Structure 1
Amino acid sequence: MATQLQEITGFRGESITELALTEFSEFVRPLFQPGFLGDKWPSIDFYVELNLVRGKRPYFFVQTKATRSRITARSTNLSVTTTKKGIERLLRIPGPTYIIGVHEPSKRAFIRSVHAGVPRQAITRIPLENELTSANLRLLHTEVKNFWKSSSHKPTESHFS
């Protein structure tokens, strides 16, 4: 029974992640276009492209971690469960990678970057201030857009031309 509840919580967390990333009440249209990758990918759940960027399709990757752990009035973090191996896998993926922690009972989503310099250890907390609000969605969009602006978009040559 506990395993079935975990599966349902995880499934709902993935759906809530998709809803959070496509929220556009403050925008002309959604800032992001997430693509769910399913259970076949060990490290990532979503490939997410940015909308509203001319000439490019910048992207990032997301691993979703859903939880039913309590959030109280005094809480400053959402407790999530990751592994050292999982974080190491995310660090090896080229491009921006994030963990989105979903508090399933309240349907709230919180984000944490897994980037160069992040310790190679399990991440167990995501600050509540990183909730995917409209303001933080805009910050995420800008962060990923700026990353790809400073990075080469395509190779300049190939053996297979």
Structure 2
Amino acid sequence: MVVELRDVIGDRGEMLAELRLTDYSAFEKPLFRPGFLGDKWPAIDLYVELNSVRGKRPYFFAQVKSTASPLPSESTHLHISSRKRDIERLLRIPGPTYILGVHEPSGRVFIRSVHAGMPVQAVTRIPVANELTSTNLEALHREVRDFWAANDHKPAASVFA
């Protein structure tokens, strides 16, 4: 079996994204609980639940894009490869969705929201200011928590009651 370097970079990127999301060095415990969905899901790689939210299990979905391309210290963006179809699919999913860009050689992870109102076009850059530092992990947790606090997470009734 021939292993493609692209596949290795992608697999390592997914593991690095999980490690970053579960980093608790600045917290009492991890803020997130990610679960990989595997290759069968066309739009998303991760289902991520928030920890430490009383009475609910808020979540978001993420697609992971990994790169081994150089990231010079003066860079303002991480360059990734996505397609318009990736964005269209993410926009159809109810709830918060994100692209996680992983710079595999350095292990750094960056995040970009895919939300209503954004252009339906390929995302090819993620600002380095969106690196998942402890501060941005907290901001992500707060953003997703606040989204679900403002939206009912269960139907009020069902024909199958």
Please state which band the TM-score falls in when normalised by the shorter chain. over 0.9
Structure 2: which amino acid aligns with 1:110? F
Deviation at 1:3, TM superposition (A): 7.1
Question: Is 1:101 the counterpart of 2:101 in the alignment?
Answer: yes
> What per-residue deviation string (whole Å, max 9, x for no partner) do you get for residues 68-114 of structure 1?
11111221000000000110000000000000000000000000000
Tell me the equivalent position of 2:119. Answer: 119
Tell me the equivalent position of 2:40. Answer: 40
Tell me the equivalent position of 1:139. Answer: 139
CA distance, structure 2, for counterparts of residue 153 and residue 86 of structure 1: 25
SS of match in other structure, 2:120: coil
Deviation at 1:118, TM superposition (A): 1.1
SS of match in other structure, 1:66: strand
- Count of equivalent residues: 160
Where structure 1 has 5 or more consecutive residues not aligned to the other structure, the ranges are none
Tell me the equivalent position of 1:150. Answer: 150
Where structure 2 has 5 or more consecutive residues not aligned to the other structure, the ranges are none
CA distance, structure 2, for counterparts of residue 15 and residue 28 of structure 1: 22
Mapping of 1:1-161 within 5 angstroms?
4-161=4-161
CA distance, structure 2, for counterparts of residue 78 and residue 133 of structure 1: 15
CA distance, structure 2, for counterparts of residue 128 and residue 113 of structure 1: 14
Please report the TM-score for the alignment, with normalisation by the length of structure 2. Answer: 0.98
Deviation at 1:153, TM superposition (A): 1.5
SS of match in other structure, 2:82: coil
Please report the TM-score for the alignment, with normalisation by the length of structure 1. Answer: 0.98
Which runs of structure 1 show a deviation greater than 4 angstroms over 4 or more consecutive aligned residues?
none
Structure 2: which amino acid aligns with 1:34? P
CA distance, structure 2, for counterparts of residue 117 and residue 21 of structure 1: 26
- Indicate the RMSD between aligned Cα atoms, in angstroms: 1.0
> What per-residue deviation string (whole Å, max 9, x for no partner) do you get for residues 101-130 of structure 1?
000000000000000011000000000000
CA distance, structure 1, for counterparts of residue 16 and residue 27 of structure 2: 19
Deviation at 1:160, TM superposition (A): 0.2
